[in-house]
Amino acid sequence: MAPLAATRHALRVPSQLRLRLFSTSSLRAAQEVKRLGVVGAGQMGLGIALVAALRAQVPVTLVDSSQKSLDKGVAFAEKLLAKDVSKSRITQEQADAARALLTPATSLDGLADADFVIEAVPEIPALKFDIFSKLAQICPQHAILATNTSSISITRIAASTTQDPTDTTNSSRVVSTHFMNPVPIQKGVEIISGLQTSQETLDAAVAFCKRMGKIPSVSADSPGFLANRILMPYINEAVICLDTGVGDRDSIDAIMKNGTNVPMGPLQLADFIGLDTCLAIMKVLHEETGDSKYRPGILLRNMVDAGWLGKKSGKGFYDY
Ligand SMILES: NC(=O)c1ccc[n+]([C@@H]2O[C@H](COP(=O)([O-])OP(=O)(O)OC[C@H]3O[C@@H](n4cnc5c(N)ncnc54)[C@H](O)[C@@H]3O)[C@@H](O)[C@H]2O)c1
């Protein structure tokens, strides 16, 4: 991995210019990803692993600390592949080939031969810091270490890979590939660099996401980045409207669905994202900016406390 080239100004480089800066060595690095590692086989990790196997046709080691989550994730991948075959979106051979590329594992040690790792564990800072400090030790020196975090600072995650902040050997290869949910359907992915991220790492992340068939947007390492900085206050406001009786659930979702041409209203979308994830992101926006406009709604907190996390727990604003 190339050393960090002075202070990064890349965050402020317009995306058109960034494409021109795209180096052939980064393209080669993305092409040369011979094994992807994905940490966390939940809804995001599973989707990332599946799309990488199907579109980039790269072998994937899918790691989850819970055997139950791993089994559930692999079964869900098989279900999604079978659905794609039944709808003639892919052939049975393509489905079989993608399934054969997925290798489940329960330990991070399984990532010792990964060229590119994408972490998708729950949005808990200490958990991510711990995983990145381990990945920096376990993965090969050339491996790119990406996080799917929705809101945690990439600079802080990168800092967790080293005891010596002046040594950027590991921190320069940390980047964010923030996929949108559901990964098999949404084309967008935000690529975010921390202060330490090298240009080569950033370019390789953009190139690998393109190899997965995605359309990358580059954003600065700022609370919520672009997508959640805009989306989460919108969802939070919808929850506050519900809580304070401005409108009922169906009216809130219907007006946004039918008024702004989105496929689902904000409360249904919150259920799909997971209310715990929505709350965690609002907390980060609130705490890191100190701006009261990001205060999480009381009902959002209460629903998470009740364990009503949306689709994944069977109950949220809707029943599943
Ligand atoms: N849900 C969304 O819409 C969405 C969208 C974009 C980004 N994200 C981000 O993606 C990440 C994952 O979110 P998700 O919705 O897939 O969560 P999830 O709860 O569905 O899945 C997380 C998985 O990580 C596993 N895990 C927990 N600790 C682990 C460890 N130490 N090692 C390995 N695996 C571990 C869990 O068993 C679980 O299977 C979060 O950072 C979230 O903010 C979520």
Compute the average pLDDT of residues 198-208: 96
In the structure, what pLDDT confidence band is assigned to residue 113 with cuts at 50, 70 and 90?
Answer: very high
Three-class SS of 21-77: HCCHHHHHHHHCCCCEEEECCCHHHHHHHHHHHHHHCCCEEEECCCHHHHHHHHHHH
- The whole-number pLDDT of residue 19 equals 42
In the structure, what pLDDT confidence band is assigned to residue 12 with cuts at 50, 70 and 90?
Answer: very low
Q: Which atom of ligand 1 is nearest to the CA of 277?
A: 43
**What residue owns the CA closest to ligand 1's atom 1?**
273
pLDDT beyond 70 at 186: yes
What DSSP designation does 200 have? H
Specify whether the CB–CB gap between 119 and 111 falls below 8 A: no
Give yes or no for residue 63 CB within 6 A of ligand 1: yes
Pocket-testing residue among 64, 192, 230, ligand 1, by greatest number of atoms within 8 A of Cβ: 64
Specify whether the CB–CB gap between 36 and 117 falls below 8 A: yes
The per-residue pLDDT of the chain, averaged, comes to 91
Q: Which atom of ligand 1 is nearest to the CA of 44?
A: 16
Give yes or no for residue 106 CB within 6 A of ligand 1: no
Whether 190 is catalytic: yes
Q: How does pLDDT run across 143-170, given as a tens digit for each residue?
A: 999 999 988 999 999 999 999 999 999 9
Q: Which atom of ligand 1 is nearest to the CA of 69?
A: 39
Give yes or no for residue 148 CB within 6 A of ligand 1: yes
- The whole-number pLDDT of residue 30 equals 60
pLDDT beyond 70 at 193: yes
Whether 261 is catalytic: no
HSE-CB of 277 using CA atoms within 13 angstroms: 25
Compute the average pLDDT of residues 1-28: 44
pLDDT beyond 60 at 92: yes
Compute the average pLDDT of residues 165-177: 97
- The whole-number pLDDT of residue 204 equals 95
Q: Which atom of ligand 1 is nearest to the CA of 70?
A: 39
What DSSP designation does 163 have? S
Specify whether the CB–CB gap between 266 and 235 falls below 8 A: yes
pTM of the predicted model as reported, rounded to 2 decimal places: 0.84
Distance 86 CA to ligand 1 centre (A): 28
Q: What is the bridge-based pairing of β-strands 144-147 and 174-179?
A: parallel
pLDDT beyond 80 at 16: no
pLDDT beyond 70 at 25: no
Give yes or no for residue 45 CB within 6 A of ligand 1: yes
pLDDT beyond 50 at 198: yes
Q: How does pLDDT run across 244-262, given as a tens digit for each residue?
A: 999 999 999 999 999 999 9
pLDDT beyond 70 at 134: yes
Distance 277 CA to ligand 1 centre (A): 9
In the structure, what pLDDT confidence band is assigned to residue 8 with cuts at 50, 70 and 90?
Answer: very low
Distance 166 CA to ligand 1 centre (A): 30
In the structure, what pLDDT confidence band is assigned to residue 182 with cuts at 50, 70 and 90?
Answer: very high
Q: How far apart are CA 107 and CA 115, in angstroms?
A: 17
pLDDT beyond 60 at 10: no
Compute the average pLDDT of residues 212-237: 95
Q: Which atom of ligand 1 is nearest to the CA of 127?
A: 31
Q: What is the largest CA-CA distance in the chain?
A: 56
Q: Structure tokens of 117?
A: 């790792």
Distance 88 CA to ligand 1 centre (A): 30
Give yes or no for residue 190 CB within 6 A of ligand 1: no
In the structure, what pLDDT confidence band is assigned to residue 206 with cuts at 50, 70 and 90?
Answer: very high
Give yes or no for residue 122 CB within 6 A of ligand 1: yes
The rounded percent of the chain whose pLDDT value lies above 90 is: 88
Catalytic position from the list 148, 160, 228, 236: 228
Specify whether the CB–CB gap between 154 and 147 falls below 8 A: yes
Give yes or no for residue 194 CB within 6 A of ligand 1: no
Whether 302 is catalytic: no
In the structure, what pLDDT confidence band is assigned to residue 15 with cuts at 50, 70 and 90?
Answer: very low
- The whole-number pLDDT of residue 11 equals 42
Whether 178 is catalytic: yes
Q: How far apart are CA 56 and CA 83, in angstroms?
A: 19
Q: Structure tokens of 154?
A: 């990439």
- The whole-number pLDDT of residue 32 equals 86
Give yes or no for residue 66 CB within 6 A of ligand 1: yes
Q: How far apart are CA 269 and CA 14, in angstroms?
A: 30
